[in-house]
Every structure is written in C-alpha cells, then in structure tokens.
Structure 1
Amino acid sequence: MTQELARRIALTIGALLLFLLGTRVPVTGMWTSSGSLPPGAVARLSIFALGLIPYLSAAIVIRLLSVVWRGLSSLERSGEHGRRRIARHTLILTLAFATFQAYGIASAIQRIPEIAAGADGWFAVSATASMVGGVVLLIWLSEQITSHGVGNGLALILSVGILVDLPNDVAGIVDLVQRGAVSGNLVLAHMIFWVVVVVLIVFVEGARRNVRVEFSERRVGKRVLSPRAAVLPIKINNAGYLIPVTVAPWIFYLPLAFASFVFGASTPWVAAAYVHLQLGRPAHMILISIAVFVLALFYTAYVVDPEHAADSLAKHGGVIPGVAPGEPTADYLDRVVSLTTVVGAVYLTVLQLIPEAFVASGHALPYNMGGGAALVVVCTILDLQSQVRDLSLTDPGGERQ
C-alpha cells in the first residue's frame, strides 16, 4: 500500500465516521421533558435527517431540465466553467428543497410536546437551520471524499446509510425466527435470492458491448500516429438508477396529487386511485414498470448520442470495419445502443420490482434492502475496488510502479 493510498483511505474513513456521528446529533432544541429522547428519535431527527435527498433531487431536476432545455444542455457540455455553473445552480436548488423539507419537519416536531418539550417560536427556525446545515455539511463531506479520498463520496455516504441499518434488520429477523413468527426456510430463500441478485448486478454492471474500431495513420503536430485497432465499449446500463427510478413515480403521483388538490382527497375515484397505487398492488407494479422502462430508454438516448460518437470517430480517423463513416456509422451505433438499452431497461425494471414482488406474494421480511439499494451498494464497492487497485499501483509521484 502506498503512502498516498493510506492517506486517502484514512480521510475517507474519517469522513464516514463524521457522517455516522452526525446521525446521532439531534436537531437544535429537540428535547423531552424527561431529559432524554425517545428510542430511535435521534437517528430519525438528527442534523442529517434529510440526508442527501435534497441534493439528489436538485441534481435530478437540473438533469431533466438539461434534457429539454438546450441552453442548459450546452452549458453542461461547455467544459469546466459550465460544470461549475451547473454545480452552483444545483446547490441553490438544493438549499431551496432542503429549507422547504426541513421547515415542514420542524413544524411537525413543534406540535409534539413529548419530543420538543418547551419549544418556543424560534424552535422551527433553529431546527430548520440545523437540518439545512446538515445537508450542506454532507455535500461538503462527499466532495472531500471524491476529491481527496477513495471512491465516489455521494455513493459512499448513501451506501453507509443503507448498510448501517442492516445489523438491526438482521437482529429483528433472527428474533422473529426464534419466536417462530417467521420460517427459517423463508429467511434462507431470501439469502439465496440476494446472492443471485448481487451476482446479477456485478455481471450486468461490468458487461460491455465492445464495438471494434480501426484508426488509420494520422499526423498530430509533429507526431505520426501509426494505424491501430481499439474498441468502443457500450455499457448495458447507461441510464444508471436514480433518474429512471426516482422520476417514474412522479409521472402518476404528481397528477394524482393535483387531482386530490382540485377535487379533494375524499372524492371516490381519487381515493380509489390512491388505494390501487399502493406498494405491491397490481396497478402500481404495472405503471411503475412501464415508467421505469420508458424512462431508461429515453434517458439513455440523451446520455449516449450516436451522432456525436460518429462525428468524434471521423474527427480522429476512426472507422467501424464494414461500416461507412458519417451517417451509416451513427445508424449502426444507434442500433447497437438500442439493443443494449432494452436489456438495461429490463434489468432496471426487475430491480425496481423486487420489494413489490415480495409484498405482493406475501413473503416479505422486515428489512429495508431493495433492488435499488443493492445496486447502489454493489456499484459503490466495485468503484471503490477499482480506485484502490489503481492507487495501489501508483507511487506518490503519480507514476505506475
């Protein structure tokens, strides 16, 4: 292990420990008349109670706007200056989201005297400020990990937040088995199922459709680059996870919320719609599957631009064997991307349906792990492994050993 790698690992561990410590610090002014907080209240109402959700929501909104707003899309692709402006817009929107959510939570806490004993008019302000500050601190920690530590800071904090609940979930399941409330065979079936899911995620996330490319001899300045062969790797899952799965529920829940506001939540058809759109209901499973599948296709079409790739190949003297440069190359790449995207969309849809399938079948167990959480954790570990391997082969001077 190099000295640089050891320093980065130490910084990453320290940042994650600070995150875990923050989940045990209650928001300002939250205290009970007995002098102690109810069990579990600290974790749920800490300064990090909002987590990274406001930041992720803002980033998703900015990304969606860039899909439909050409000016924002151009800014996103205009280099470092454009990325800084996008980051600034994302942070401003994050603060707006965090303030709105934090004030709503603080107002709800203020109405519970058992939790916020003796709360005055400043409680909502101070509690809101502490939660918004917690979001800003988490963003800063994630940036420090990404820049000076090991791995992606956002993904690591999300993964630690998921994994930290696993021991309690396992202890609860063991207790249910010991009391005979849950069959041991069911628990074993869940364990085998998740092993298969993890293997599937590792396989799909590492899979690539390699398109062979040949580069002709060309001159770059005073250098002459000899002919060479290479591959253009195309991922199976180019859409990621957050955009399709986060936006999918908005497609039918936002119109339903608007209908509830206009016609009233007690209107029979609105109330019936809410019932049928609950987790595990057939209508919800069908609609969420269609939404995730379609969003994965559309978002991949935005992320992977065959025309841009074809132009880039032509600019650097690259051709796909048997395919003419220009528009034929773009059409060929479009067909390849379309086929792989369909496979990736089905993969994301299956992962999204895992918790609902358990609920619908009546074989659910009391744990919070879902297909999306497993995807985040596994991808984070794979990325961490890759970065550690690269850094372990690099000396402090930045040269490979």
Structure 2
Amino acid sequence: MSELARRIAITIGALLIFRLGFSIPVAGLSPQSAVFRPDAIARLSIFSLSILPYLSAAIIIQLVSVVWGRLSALERSGEAGRRAIARYTLILTLLLAAFQAFGIASALQNIRGLVVEPGDWFVLATIATLVGGVFVLVWLSELITRHGVGNGLALIMSVGIVTALPAEIAGTIELLRQGAVTGNLVLFNVVLSIALVVLVVLVESARRNVPVQYAARQVGKRVFAPRAAVLPIKLNSAGFLIPVTVAPWIINLPLALAAAVFGQTPWLAAAYAQLSYAKPLYIGLVSIAVFVLAFIYTARVLDPEQAAATLQAHGGTIPGVAPGDATADHLDRIASLTTVVGAVYLVAVSLIPAVQLASGTVLPYNFGGGSLLIVVCTILDLKKQVRDLSLTNGGERI
C-alpha cells in the first residue's frame, strides 16, 4: 500500500469511528425515552460534547500567549515548549469538558422518566463518559494530523457540519412543498452559498507576492548563485478560527459574568435583549471585534521584524528597500494593507447568518458563516496535502 493510500485509510477509519460514536447513547438512560429516537440520540451520545472543549481550550491558550510573553516564548522554544503547551491545553480541556458534562448530567436527571437511577453515580458516570468521549476525539484528531491526511481537528468539525446538511436540505424542501417559504428565497440562499464558496476559495488562495533578490553567497564549500524569489503574504493571514470564534465571546462572557454577580436584573435583561444574536448592536460589535482580532492575530503569526532579520541573514533584499528596519517597515505596510482586505472579508462572511436572520431570509439550509469557512478551508488544506503527498511519492499531480 502506498503512503498516500495508507494515510487516506487512516483518515477514513478515524472519521468512521467519530460518526459511530454519535449512535451510542450515554449509559443509564431509559430505553423508552424519546432520547432513543434516531433524530435525538446524537444529542446525548458519548460524543455529544464533540471536540468543542478542546477547541475552546486551544483558542484560550493562543489568546493568553498573545498577551503573555512568557507563554509565547515557551511556544516558540522548540519541541519541549510545544509539548508543554499541549499539556496545558489538555488540562484546560479536562476542566472545560468536566464542567460542561456536570451541567448536562445534572440537567438529565431532573427530566422525569429519562434516567433509570438518578443520583451521584449517574452524574459521575455521565461526566466520565462525556469527558472520555472528548479525549477520544482529541486522540482521533491527533491521529489524523500525524498519520492521516489533513488537519484532524478541522476535519472532525467539518464532518459534523457536512453530515448535518442533508437533514437541513430535506427540511428546506419540505417547507417549500408546504408553501411555508418561497422558491425565490430558496434560490437566493443557494446562489448566496455558491457565491460565498467561490469567495472563500479565492481569498484563502490569494497571496501578495513581495519580490526578493538573493545575492551570491558561499556556505562551506557550496556556492549559491544570485537568484530571484518572492515572499508570499496571505490575504487572510489570521485564519478563521480565532477571529470568528472569539468575537462573540467578547459580548457573551461579560454578560454571563454580570448575571453571575448581579443576578437577573432589569438592566441586565435589557442588555441581553439588545445584544442577542442578529440584533443590530450585536452585529455591529461583533463586526468590530472580528476586524480588530484579525489584526491582532495577524501581528502574531506574521512578524515583519523577524521576516526582515531572516531575509538579511540569508542575504535577501527587497529591490529598492534597504535591509534591516526599512525592510521591516515595508513589510509591515504591506501586511497592514492586506490585513484590511482580509479582515473585511472575515467580517462579511462570518456575519452573513446573523444578517440573514435579522432580515428574515434564513432557512433550515443555511450553509454560511463560520461553518462555510471551516468546511471550505479544510477542503483546500486537504487538497494541498494530498497533492504534496502524491508528488512526494511519485504519483500524478492532482
């Protein structure tokens, strides 16, 4: 079996285990309850927390590293530092998953007739099951990333989104058949989804190529001739997970903390009403947050000073720009201009579902926003890795 075929087989096997887990309900539930309907069992399966606690923990660690230099230095200190970051992420995942699992277990045993034997043992067993499910998914995602094809975390998230699409499309067709929605509205959503896919593919593939000239140099006995190259800068260097995921936290976390401290006061209820999903104030604040976060995270992943120092160390110069600080300033200006375009793109794509809901044009089939970004970016990354593996192993270009 070729290396590419082996990796594809590992990836498919891991994703099949992921989907199989959604058909296994947590123990202790009554077989006569509605949970055992096929359309409801996934919500209370051993994988019902999915991989979101791990994703949340990874994002929190990344955010802390942006503002805490010691953690950022640890992340860049080599393999030992990366292993330490991985341990911190797993510890935080355990805490987040246990907290969520406790809330779910407590709520389940308060539903009459759902739990066979309510009590502490049921709560402990459910917590252990759900937390264990999260760590199984973490293991599967690492297995795919290291020995399969693609990014395991992104693939697991994408499969969850894609497998929900057939039911959403069927719901939309049923609404159309009943006359609850118009054909024009369905056509508008389909055209919008296709246009968004095209936009995401174009922007995520776009690069600003900065010309670089390398002078002749000698390394040991080897002489390198002068050559021209380019320094590619992505239009969207910030990616999509950090800005799109964290932006709503900036609104929701202060509201949750205020509710915990002050209780349900009239002014807090009014704040919830004004800042609820798809409200104009929510759309405006999240737009600003996504835009700012795109710049913050781009500054973290794209350091003009480090890039300028690397170019100078390897004898590279940008034509017409002096090495050192002048090169760093030049790269900073280019990165800032491209980030403006990338940030506007992220704001537009991520907020389309909220705008549709506010305008009354949303449907059960609504492939847009963060879900579209995750799926399309995952497919692009998967295509690149398959192509690279195919070329490395002497296969045909895909």
Normalising by structure 2, report the TM-score.
0.96
Matched residue, 1:326: 324
Write out aligned runs for 1:225-244 (5 A).
Answer: 225-244=224-243
How far 1:36 moved relative to its partner? 6.8
How far 1:260 moved relative to its partner? 2.3
Matched residue, 2:204: 205
Write out aligned runs for 1:270-281 (5 A).
Answer: 270-281=268-279
How far 1:34 moved relative to its partner? 5.8
How far 1:386 moved relative to its partner? 1.3
For residues 313 and 330 of structure 1, what CA distance do their matches in structure 2 show?
10
Q: Which amino acid aligns with 2:145?
A: T
Matched residue, 1:192: 191
Q: Which moved more, 1:218-227 or 1:58-67?
A: 218-227
Contact 2:193 2:367 in 1 (8 A): no
For residues 385 and 102 of structure 2, what CA distance do their matches in structure 1 show?
39
State the secondary structure of the residue aligned to 1:11: helix
Q: What do the CA deviations read for 1:232-275 (whole angstroms, capped 9, x no partner)?
A: 0000111111111222122222222222233321x222111100
How far 1:368 moved relative to its partner? 5.2
Q: Which moved more, 1:177-186 or 1:332-341?
A: 177-186
Write out aligned runs for 1:125-204 (5 A).
Answer: 125-204=124-203
Q: What do the CA deviations read for 1:212-235 (whole angstroms, capped 9, x no partner)?
A: 001111121221111111100000
State the secondary structure of the residue aligned to 1:28: coil
For residues 35 and 273 of structure 1, what CA distance do their matches in structure 2 show?
36
For residues 370 and 192 of structure 1, what CA distance do their matches in structure 2 show?
12
For residues 125 and 368 of structure 1, what CA distance do their matches in structure 2 show?
37
For residues 120 and 251 of structure 2, what CA distance do their matches in structure 1 show?
38
State the secondary structure of the residue aligned to 2:211: strand
Give the paired residue count: 397
Contact 2:235 2:339 in 1 (8 A): yes
How far 1:65 moved relative to its partner? 1.1
For residues 210 and 195 of structure 1, what CA distance do their matches in structure 2 show?
28
For residues 59 and 139 of structure 1, what CA distance do their matches in structure 2 show?
11
- Is 1:287 paired with 2:285? yes
Contact 1:152 1:380 in 2 (8 A): yes
For residues 152 and 35 of structure 2, what CA distance do their matches in structure 1 show?
33
Q: Which amino acid aligns with 2:363?
A: L
Q: Which amino acid aligns with 1:110?
A: Q
CA shift in 2, pair 1:318/1:230, >3 Å: same
Structure 2, unaligned runs of 5 or more:
none
CA shift in 2, pair 1:35/1:188, >3 Å: closer
State the secondary structure of the residue aligned to 1:119: coil
How far 1:38 moved relative to its partner? 4.2
How far 1:281 moved relative to its partner? 0.9
Matched residue, 2:14: 15
Matched residue, 1:388: 386
Write out aligned runs for 1:70-81 (5 A).
Answer: 70-81=69-80
Matched residue, 1:53: 52
Q: What do the CA deviations read for 1:7-60 (whole angstroms, capped 9, x no partner)?
A: 111111111111000011111222344697245331011111111111111111
Q: What do the CA deviations read for 1:161-186 (whole angstroms, capped 9, x no partner)?
A: 00010010011111111111111111
Q: Which amino acid aligns with 1:346?
A: V
Q: Which moved more, 1:193-202 or 1:179-188?
A: 179-188
How far 1:159 moved relative to its partner? 0.4
For residues 188 and 151 of structure 1, what CA distance do their matches in structure 2 show?
33
For residues 174 and 246 of structure 2, what CA distance do their matches in structure 1 show?
37
Contact 2:33 2:114 in 1 (8 A): no
Write out aligned runs for 1:294-305 (5 A).
Answer: 294-305=292-303
How far 1:354 moved relative to its partner? 0.6
CA shift in 2, pair 1:36/1:157, >3 Å: closer
- Is 1:37 paired with 2:36? yes
For residues 112 and 39 of structure 1, what CA distance do their matches in structure 2 show?
19
State the secondary structure of the residue aligned to 1:98: helix
For residues 186 and 372 of structure 2, what CA distance do their matches in structure 1 show?
17
Q: Which amino acid aligns with 1:355?
A: P
Contact 1:162 1:369 in 2 (8 A): no
For residues 221 and 106 of structure 1, what CA distance do their matches in structure 2 show?
65
Contact 2:251 2:275 in 1 (8 A): no
